[in-house]
């Protein structure tokens, strides 16, 4: 028999509907936008056989009173954390659907001491569709796939919440950037998507799993966004298996059309291992689901991208001629917001710091103080030697209150990683590294040149091997790369790091793309918000 009680924090009240007899595990079910605890009923009945179930009505939904203002996602996550602490729950299994997936992600990131596992069912919001209009369209598309049972439960819940409260909570849902929070969720997390989910595209659900340090993905065929309503027993089985740490790929369905397809994603593997290939257009701008290094691109298209890449590199090299004569970086780059970390720019091999001038200007306009490293020439010295020189140079400067973040292109990213390994970053205030088109596993193309400074980037080079084996700092790295990289055919995705693919082809021209600058800015925010040791 279910027991109802209330949790209150100020004017924020959550209704708790508890069922099940066993004390462990404790499943905490958090509903989607406009919904309430009732639509978990079938799933909750199945979970009761294996543990204790707490189905929640968030503030303003179901029978919970409406607070004065809608909560932001971090506030909702914190409130659920307060509830867990008040209930004396530790190692909770948080299960969130849609909007609720965003809430439980925040809870798991904020209160890791209270969470043992997480299940995200149909997680929103796809970053490519972060508008009210697009989400409304997706919602209407999904309604056409639902059955009468789902429609009845949904209409009842939406009527209880009211259109005003639903609309007020839509904006915090859309504005929330779940992709920034996911890398901070350390517990095992299962991402569940239904095959016909019109709200959550497959590539976004897979990306959610990739961004999680211990994420895995499974798709349930034949269902829509509300799969836990239409296939409650099967989804409950997935949740219980995940809570026990068991494989979930072999789903035992009650209906013959239900079977699971699972992809394990330990430590965020290279994106090309799990992503369906899609070609970019002739401009080199393509969908984010293109392959990590452009493998499989038609030869003529690859040649076109390659030519454009080298044309951009030639222009940047010509722009560097004046700087090689002694011109320093712009003085205004050292002015900015003291609350933001200082940025240290590191170019790649055969690149002067001016190669990164467009990116430096964009970061400075965003309020970041930007430093360049002088005395590197065109960065041909060994990685370890350059890292040591950089450490000595930074040691002579006062550590900014907000710390420092290295932004490196290609070899510059390797130097930044070595700096983290060498010093831990603490004494120098280095919070992490944002690396662009960096060959973390080396580049097989390096063998085409006899220059030792290039051949030092071969996958078999001792320094490259050492950097690859040193995975302890990878969580403090954001790796950004395009859809096609002629210099790094092996890919720039790094296990354990936050991997971001931008829809631009090339090794050099990626640096000038607005999408890259946006990704770098988000990477800086992510590293600045994380603890010094992630």
Is pLDDT at 126 greater than 90 in this prediction?
no
CA atoms within 13 A on the CB side of 225: 28
Is pLDDT at 280 greater than 50 in this prediction?
no
The residue to which tokens 């659907």 are assigned: 97
Between residues 250 and 178, the one the model is more confident about: 178
Is pLDDT at 213 greater than 70 in this prediction?
yes
pLDDT digits (tens, 9 = 90+) for 102-118: 999 999 999 999 999 99
What does the pLDDT read at residue 321?
56
pLDDT digits (tens, 9 = 90+) for 472-529: 899 899 999 988 888 888 889 888 888 888 888 889 888 988 889 999 999 999 999 8
How does residue 30 score in pLDDT terms, banded at 50, 70 and 90?
very high
Most confident of 117-121, 455-459, 484-488: 117-121
Max Cα–Cα distance, the chain, nearest Å: 81
Q: What share of the chain is helix, strand, coil (3-state, %, to 5)?
A: 45, 15, 40
Q: Count Cβ neighbours within 10 Å for each residue of 428-447 and write b for 16 or more, e otherwise.
A: bbbbbbbbbbbbbbbbebbe
Report strand pairing: 214-220 vs 261-266.
antiparallel
Q: How far apart are CA 501 and CA 490, in angstroms?
A: 14
Q: How far apart are CA 165 and CA 332, in angstroms?
A: 46
CB atoms within 10 A of CB 156: 15
Query: What pTM value is reported for the model?
Result: 0.50
CA-to-CA dists, residue 248 to 131, 263, 274, angstroms: 34, 10, 17
**In this structure, what token pair is assigned to residue 214?**
């211990």
Contact 97, 121 (CB under 8 A): yes
What's the average model confidence in pLDDT over 184-210? 90
pLDDT digits (tens, 9 = 90+) for 333-355: 999 999 999 999 999 988 888 88
What does the pLDDT read at residue 135?
57
Question: Which residues fall within 8 angstroms of residue 120, CB to CB, at 6 or more apart?
Answer: 96, 101, 104, 105, 189, 190, 191, 192, 208
Contact 19, 3 (CB under 8 A): yes
What does the pLDDT read at residue 221?
83
CA-to-CA dists, residue 238 to 82, 95, 102, 120, 198, angstroms: 27, 11, 20, 11, 21
Spacing of C-alpha 282 from chain mean position: 28
Three-class SS state of 166: helix
The residue to which tokens 């905490």 are assigned: 28
Q: How far apart are CA 456 and CA 447, in angstroms?
A: 9
Question: Which residues fall within 8 angstroms of residue 256, CB to CB, at 6 or more apart?
Answer: none
Q: How far apart are CA 297 and CA 510, in angstroms?
A: 17
How does residue 270 score in pLDDT terms, banded at 50, 70 and 90?
very low
What does the pLDDT read at residue 276?
27
Which residues are registered as beta bridge partners of 13? 8
CA atoms within 13 A on the CB side of 109: 27
**In this structure, what token pair is assigned to residue 66?**
């409406």
Contact 267, 495 (CB under 8 A): yes
Contact 44, 70 (CB under 8 A): no
What does the pLDDT read at residue 408?
96
What's the average model confidence in pLDDT over 453-459? 89
Report strand pairing: 404-409 vs 430-436.
parallel
CB atoms within 10 A of CB 263: 17
**In this structure, what token pair is assigned to residue 306?**
């390659």
DSSP letter, residue 484? B
CA atoms within 13 A on the CB side of 405: 27
What's the average model confidence in pLDDT over 165-169? 69
Q: What's the mean per-residue pLDDT of the chain?
A: 80
| Sheet containing 261-266, strands listed edge to edge, beginning at the edge strand earlier in sequence | 3-9, 12-19, 52-57, 26-30, 92-97, 115-121, 189-194, 214-220, 261-266
The CA radius of gyration of the chain, in Å to the nearest whole number, is: 25
3-class SS letters over 57-95: ECCCCCCCCCCCCCCCHHHHHHHHHHHHHHHCCCCEEEE
């Amino acid at each position: 028999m279910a027991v109802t009680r209330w949790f209150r924090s100020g004017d924020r009240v959550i209704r708790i509907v508890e069922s099940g007899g066993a004390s462990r595990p404790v499943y905490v079910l958090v509903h989607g936008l406009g919904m309430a605890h009732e639509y978990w009923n079938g799933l909750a009945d199945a979970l009761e056989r294996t543990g204790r179930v707490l189905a929640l009505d968030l503030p303003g939904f179901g029978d919970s009173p409406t607070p004065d203002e809608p909560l932001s996602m971090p506030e909702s996550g914190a409130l659920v954390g307060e509830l867990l602490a008040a209930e004396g729950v530790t190692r909770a299994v948080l299960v969130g659907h849609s909007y609720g997936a965003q809430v439980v992600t925040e809870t798991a990131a904020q209160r890791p001491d209270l969470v043992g596992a997480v299940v995200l069912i149909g997680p929103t919001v796809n970053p490519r569709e972060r508008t009210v209009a697009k989400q409304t369209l997706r919602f209407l598309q999904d309604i056409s796939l639902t059955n009468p049972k789902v429609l009845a439960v949904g209409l009842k819940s939406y009527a209880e919440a009211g259109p005003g409260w639903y609309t007020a909570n839509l904006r915090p849902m859309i504005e929330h950037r779940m992709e920034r929070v996911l890398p901070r969720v350390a517990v095992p997390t299962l991402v569940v998507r239904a095959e016909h989910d019109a709200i959550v595209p497959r590539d976004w659900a897979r990306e959610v799993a990739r961004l999680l340090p211990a994420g895995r993905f499974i798709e349930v065929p034949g269902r829509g966004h509300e799969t836990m309503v239409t296939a409650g027993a099967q989804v409950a089985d997935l949740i219980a298996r995940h809570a026990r740490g068991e494989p979930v790929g072999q789903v035992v369905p009650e209906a013959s059309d239900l079977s699971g397809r699972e992809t394990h994603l330990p430590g965020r593997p290279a994106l090309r291992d799990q992503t369906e290939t899609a070609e970019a257009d002739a401009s080199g701008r393509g969908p984010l689901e293109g392959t990590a290094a452009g493998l499989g691109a038609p030869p003529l298209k690859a040649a076109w991208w390659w030519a454009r890449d080298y044309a951009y590199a030639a222009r940047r090299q010509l722009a560097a001629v004046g700087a090689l004569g002694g011109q320093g970086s712009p003085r205004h780059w050292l002015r900015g917001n003291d609350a933001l970390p200082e940025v240290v720019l590191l170019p790649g091999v055969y690149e002067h710091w001016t190669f990164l001038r467009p990116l430096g200007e964009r970061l400075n306009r965003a309020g970041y103080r930007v430093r360049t490293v002088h005395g590197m020439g065109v960065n041909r010295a060994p990685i370890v030697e350059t890292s040591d020189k950089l450490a000595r140079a930074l040691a002579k400067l006062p550590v900014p209150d907000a710390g420092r973040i290295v932004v490196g292109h290609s070899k510059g990213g390797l130097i930044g990683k070595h700096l983290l390994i060498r010093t831990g970053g603490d004494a120098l205030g280095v919070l992490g590294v944002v690396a662009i088109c960096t060959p973390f596993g080396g580049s097989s193309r390096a063998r085409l040149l006899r220059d030792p400074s290039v051949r030092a980037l071969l996958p078999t080079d001792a320094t490259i091997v050492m950097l690859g084996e040193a995975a302890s700092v990878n969580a403090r790295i954001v790796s950004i790369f395009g859809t096609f990289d002629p210099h790094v055919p092996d890919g720039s995705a790094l296990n354990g790091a936050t991997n971001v693919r931008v829809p631009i082809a090339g090794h050099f021209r990626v640096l000038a793309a607005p999408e890259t600058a946006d990704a770098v800015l988000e990477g800086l925010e992510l590293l600045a918000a994380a603890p010094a040791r992630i």
